[in-house]
Amino acid sequence: MPRAAPPVSATVLSNRLMARARFRHLQALVRLCELGSLQRTASAMGITQPAVTHLLADLESLLETTLFQRHARGVRATPAGADLLPIAQQLLQGLQAGAEAVAARHSGGAGLVRLAASSAAVLGLLVNALPAFQRRYPYIQVQLREAEIDGLLASVSRGEVDMVACRQPAVVPQGWGFSALVEDEFAVICAPDHPLTRRRKLQWADLACQTWLPSPAGSLARSRYDALVEARFDEAPPSAQVITRNPALTTALLRDQPALALVPTGSVRPQLDAGQVVSLQLPERLPLDPIGVLVPQQGMGQATRELAEFLQGLHAQG
């Protein structure tokens, strides 16, 4: 009985991909995962369906594995295809970022900053700072993408970003430094016509009997709310049935019903300034980690340095 061939090694597969794979293969993989159809993938890539089929067969031959299974309505990624998807997406995103950086240089730009930020940092820091930065430095391109802290730190470890705007992390990545720029705290907000807005001095008992709009499980606001209920309320208050952390939706829900929400003040600063919601005077402050920037301690590009110094200057002025 013939002996089964040994499984192909990762080194062999890597060498094959380096020598023979093209970005077009990766584009086909990503589009097929997204669209689930050979024909739609062909249209999206601007090529024929047989060309997509050839790209797929070529990639499967290089890897010696099936990446997609056909079914009545198209194709579905196999576990191997699903494993490759995030890697292909990262490579294509890196290619696009590189093209944008070179294009910025061709157009007379002074450089590129790959900025990743949490939603709290976008709302509490960048929403006002970046327009002002672009007015002062119109030739520096800032590529902003949003993620939460785990995704942000992963981007740092993979070398995908030049700067991160976020709350102060529990552990600062090696070789990076954090500068706090904006102090923040939790606020209990409600619509301007909520009955509690007419009360000058509130106690926790006044808040315990109100309906609350909860944040998603695992969020900072939800963890602080759960701790507040356990420490200050005799029992859990009634909750609204929509769970969200989106400031615009939170504002709309609070204006539609007499409810309260515990949120970081920075995340709803535009709504507070516009008078769409109000912050109640609490019996005690509810502190929160500051918002700031993570920057590399060595090898920082000039454009990144300009942005970091600009943000620090705005904070000093404030």
We report the CATH number of the domain holding residue 226 as 3.40.190.290
Domain boundary among 36, 60, 92: 92
Asked if residue 26 is part of any domain, the answer here is yes
Location of structure tokens 């300034």: 273
pLDDT of residue 220: 86
Structure tokens at 165: 């705007």
User: How would you write the pLDDT of the chain (318 residues) with one tens digit per residue?
Assistant: 455 556 778 888 888 888 888 889 999 999 999 999 999 999 999 999 999 999 999 999 989 899 999 888 889 999 999 999 888 888 887 787 777 666 655 554 558 889 999 888 998 889 889 999 999 999 888 989 888 878 888 888 888 889 999 998 888 889 999 999 988 999 999 999 999 998 878 899 999 999 999 888 888 899 999 999 999 998 889 998 899 888 899 999 999 999 999 999 988 888 998 999 999 999 889 998 899 999 999 888 888 999 999 999 887 655
Q: Quote the pTM value.
A: 0.64
- How many domains are there within the chain? 3
Contacts 24+ apart (CB under 8 A), 151-157: 151/116, 152/116, 152/117, 152/118, 152/294, 155/116, 156/294
Same domain, 23 and 84: yes
For 149, the domain range is 109-181+290-317
Instruction: Note whether residue 240 is domain-resident.
Output: yes
pLDDT at 155: 84
Question: Does 192 fall in a domain?
Answer: yes
Among 33, 162, 143, 40, which Cα is nearest to 88's? 33
d(CA 264, CA 289): 10
Q: Are residues 284 and 188 in the same domain?
A: yes
Q: What is the CATH number of the domain that holds 42?
A: 1.10.10.10
In a domain, 4, yes or no: no
Buried b (16+ CB within 10 A) or exposed e, 181-206: bbbbebbbbbbeebebeeeeeeeeee
* Closest C-alpha to 56, from 73, 72, 79, 33: 33
Query: Please, what is the end-to-end C-alpha distance for the chain in angstroms?
Result: 80
Model pLDDT, residue 1: 46
- Residue 2, domain member (yes or no): no
Residue 132 included in any domain: yes
